Structure 1
């Protein structure tokens, strides 16, 4: 039996008349990197928010390490979230804080304490993503978009989470800088032994960073398979999406 880290079973979510998720089933193994692809508005972000506990599904269960996390509150929810690291779309760094406090934010809960040790931890994690300690005291606005993304990666891994979520990790980056971020994600996932879940519409990113890919369409997972089959899936919806064709079953 596979060693599942995350299991989504029949997850459904409706907002008014908008049926966003309609029975999503997905299993992610421990140490696996999974990518969910799909059109804008297909429910990728809502799926992620359900796992994070930011949105409560109407039906279904989400199990992490065998524990159903749907409906967790208070300390139980915080204990579960302590397993998570997150790379937000657009990096979402705090412009009012220097880089070292951004990187160690999850470790200090945003409070200025134990500065010497936190600066050391920040420097170590910046080095992991190829950045110099010379930027510790800079503000995010003083960095390029690619450097901001690296800082956000350093922040995501600083607490040494068991699971890292990547929300459109290459958005806003040119192809070269995007590939640098993809390479970093691959090396970090392998080096740290974490489980990773990425939502993306960047096919180059999905093919590079994921072991397996799943496609979400009209609220359901309609295909899943190894990344090497992404362009040879045998599924007309997947074929149209990954090849970016206007003509096909997706309207």
Structure 2
């Protein structure tokens, strides 16, 4: 039996009386890549923020390696977060820092320490995402959007996290550059044995990077299944969403 890395059980969260998450149940297995799809406002980002401890759910449980993490604070929360890496939607690089300091930021917390070793670590991680050492001293603004996304990916993997969260990893990229990022995510998950949880609107990305896909609708997981069933789910809500049809049960 596969080992559960993350287990969400009855996760609920409301804002101003509106239920955004309404009893979410979901399991992510160790070494699995799982994508969560759904409309804007369906609760994908809120789910991620609850796992990261940025939001506290109103009710429900989040188990990480069997440990309850809802309500974690202080040193325990920091220990839990040390297991996570994050690729933000807009890359979220620091333009005041050269690329090598961006890549090693989680290792130094922005402090100017052990420069030679950090440059070497940055170079090794940039190489993993197909970027040359010559960009080490450039600023993010000097790179294209696709290169910035790869730098952000190098930063996410530099501390060798157990879990990486991908927030719309292909947003703002043309189809070719998006496919490059998808290929990198697949190879990194396979090579490093990382557990991956992705939220995305990009069906091509979901089909390529995920072992399984789950759909959030009105605060609940309404379908989950292997990626090759995404366009053959038998669920009218999923079918309408993945095919981008205006007509159907989703209004």
Fold match (TM-score > 0.5)? yes
Q: Does the residue aligned with 2:214 lie in a helix, a strand or coil?
A: strand
The equivalent of 1:124 in structure 2 is 124
* Residue 121 of structure 2 corresponds to residue 112 of structure 1: no
For residues 41-95 of structure 1, give each alpha carbon's deviation from its aligned partner in whole angstroms, at most 9, with x where no partner exists. 1000000000000000000000000001000000000000000000000100000
CA distance in 2 between partners of 1:204 and 1:96 (Å): 34
Shift of 1:30: 0.3
- The alignment yields a C-alpha RMSD, in angstroms, of 0.5
Shift of 1:17: 2.1
Shift of 1:201: 0.6
The equivalent of 1:199 in structure 2 is 199
The equivalent of 2:31 in structure 1 is 31
Q: Does the residue aligned with 1:166 lie in a helix, a strand or coil?
A: strand
The equivalent of 1:84 in structure 2 is 84
CA distance in 2 between partners of 1:96 and 1:137 (Å): 11
* TM-score of the superposed pair, with normalisation by structure 1: 0.99
* Residue 62 of structure 2 corresponds to residue 62 of structure 1: yes
Unaligned 5+ runs, structure 1:
none
Shift of 1:18: 1.7
CA distance in 1 between partners of 2:112 and 2:101 (Å): 8
CA distance in 2 between partners of 1:4 and 1:193 (Å): 14
Shift of 1:2: 3.0
The equivalent of 2:144 in structure 1 is 144
Unaligned 5+ runs, structure 2:
none
The equivalent of 2:159 in structure 1 is 159
CA distance in 2 between partners of 1:247 and 1:4 (Å): 37
